[in-house]
A and B are shown apart, each in its own frame.
Chain A
């Protein structure tokens, strides 16, 4: 067994998920099976392998004249210019409970 009932409860706590007792047992069994399967990665020797942390790819056809020179490793940094941002009303309009200019939530500090 890779994952215990306590592990499931701890993870649910970290992820702000509330689980029923039945769900705890169901997820424990399923996560255990998945983690056992995932464990096959331990068979591989990954010494001296760099982790893939960057998702931009060299192409040789990056067009710096067209896209500007402010680029690094295939990723562009856009120019640091100020644009007006007038979305506050539209954004607050989607909130379950808003009092402009705030989102309202239950009391955070007890005393």
Chain B
């Protein structure tokens, strides 16, 4: 374990106030660790030292003046490279944006920095967040710090690996079909997908706008809660941002869980689940019962249609959102004899295989004659999946499932078969389609030492409750069950 892995949001604040160490020294330790480990892990694509040290100097000056420190003062954070950072290259894991430098900050980034956080750099991810293994990055795959021959999960693989390996204390990722929770599970750290609309998407590069969300990775629940309290809340720059007051996550998370009703849907333990994953998740559910939760079996009959629904809706939206990359306003341009020739050549060279595949699938399902059969039908099935959840939440307070049917798989294992890769998201896409929050928390390891994730899903805007369940589980030793 490296020294940087012992830092948390809380102990950084204490160390700064007691003047044991400065924010600059902490950042320097993290950059030294990145220098050592990043060549092997490939978690970071771009480092933002100048911006980071400007921020540590502000924090250290505030300490010297004896000021009250903001909640994330001096905390080193990593930002997934689909989230805009002013003056810091943002590639989205794509060749088409290889030299793109955004002129503005995403709201989530601006809020982190206002809260004192130190942005170390931008993390690797599947191209435009499309993937479940981080192998679709134009800049090479990320390796899982727990087992270097395995994937870290995706698409936020760089953020998950950075936090797990002590290359950042917390990180931002994005979740469209499981891209926060699944890499969290594969790398063995807590990872929270908030309710749709809870965290502003302003400055997030759009993949599938009705699904995309920003959320935190951390090494403990309290740190995830602190990040949520900073990045959450209404933002007038995002029309889908929810006008809902933000609770005090730090105190909400400490409330007892005794008497909470937890549902266990049988559809999440069927064909295709790894037996060790199943055993660990059942052991985790038993522990929740021991902590006073009341377990209820659930039926969620539309679960098996979720992947099909997701890959229609997400690709349809992606085909529209990615139309903007045409070589005119930003990013790569490959010259052509006509405007259309330039568009085609630019997109041919700029996009990788998975992105092209999804653009074509999305274009197909939206095209004349197929719209009703695919897109409209998928939107209706989405309503049925959301209804499964709203009916379940009449009976239970939260739902417990595995995060992923398997632990981290080997690099290259699924790259030749896109459909098999898509099926890796089978337990996570449902929560995205329904718009509800969910957290993945570690629940032990397989015999081979690979982390397993327990997914805790709650109704809309119940982040406090899923954090609270995660916190009680963590306190009871559930992370290493």
- By a beta-carbon cutoff of 8 Å, the part of chain A in contact with chain B is 3, 7-8, 10-12, 14-19, 23, 27, 30-31, 33-35, 37-42, 44, 46, 49-53, 55-57, 59, 61-63, 66-67, 71, 74-76, 78, 87, 90-91, 93-97, 103, 105-108
Let me know if B188 is at the binding interface, CB within 8 A. Answer: no
Chain B stretch 121-151: residues in CB contact (< 8 A) with chain A = none
User: Could you list 6 A-B pairs, sorted by A, with CB under 8 Å?
Assistant: A52-B382, A59-B460, A63-B245, A93-B103, A106-B342, A108-B339
Within the assembled complex, what's the spacing in Å between the Cα atoms of A37 and B419?
Answer: 8
- Residues of B with C-beta under 8 A to A103: 328-329
Asked whether, in the complex, the Cβ of A75 is within 8 Å of the Cβ of B240, the reply is yes
Binds A, one of B8-16, B173-181, B273-281, B371-379: B371-379
- Residues of B with C-beta under 8 A to A14: 363, 367
With A8-B360, A31-B364, A67-B234: A56-B242 Cβ-Cβ less than 8 Å: yes
Q: Which residue of B lies closest to A38 (CB)?
A: B308
Let me know if B403 is at the binding interface, CB within 8 A. Answer: no
Asked whether, in the complex, the Cβ of B381 is within 8 Å of the Cβ of A41, the reply is yes
Within the assembled complex, what's the spacing in Å between the Cα atoms of A90 and B103?
Answer: 6
- By a beta-carbon cutoff of 8 Å, the part of chain B in contact with chain A is 100-101, 103-104, 195-197, 210, 234, 236, 239-245, 302, 304-305, 307-309, 311-312, 319, 323, 326-333, 335-345, 347-348, 351, 356-357, 359-361, 363-365, 367, 373-374, 376-384, 386, 418-419, 422, 435, 460-461
Selected contact of A17 from candidates B196, B360, B419, CB within 8 Å: B360
Asked whether, in the complex, the Cβ of B308 is within 8 Å of the Cβ of A94, the reply is no
With A14-B367, A106-B339: A49-B360 Cβ-Cβ less than 8 Å: no
Asked whether, in the complex, the Cβ of A3 is within 8 Å of the Cβ of B364, the reply is yes
With A40-B308, A44-B381, A91-B329: A31-B361 Cβ-Cβ less than 8 Å: yes
Within the assembled complex, what's the spacing in Å between the Cα atoms of A97 and B337?
Answer: 15
Asked whether, in the complex, the Cβ of A106 is within 8 Å of the Cβ of B338, the reply is yes
Asked whether, in the complex, the Cβ of A94 is within 8 Å of the Cβ of B347, the reply is no
- Residues of B with C-beta under 8 A to A37: 307-308, 419
Within the assembled complex, what's the spacing in Å between the Cα atoms of A26 and B250?
Answer: 51
A54 to chain B, nearest CB (A): 9
- Residues of B with C-beta under 8 A to A74: 242-243
- Residues of A with C-beta under 8 A to B363: 11, 14-15
With A105-B339, A107-B338: A38-B460 Cβ-Cβ less than 8 Å: no
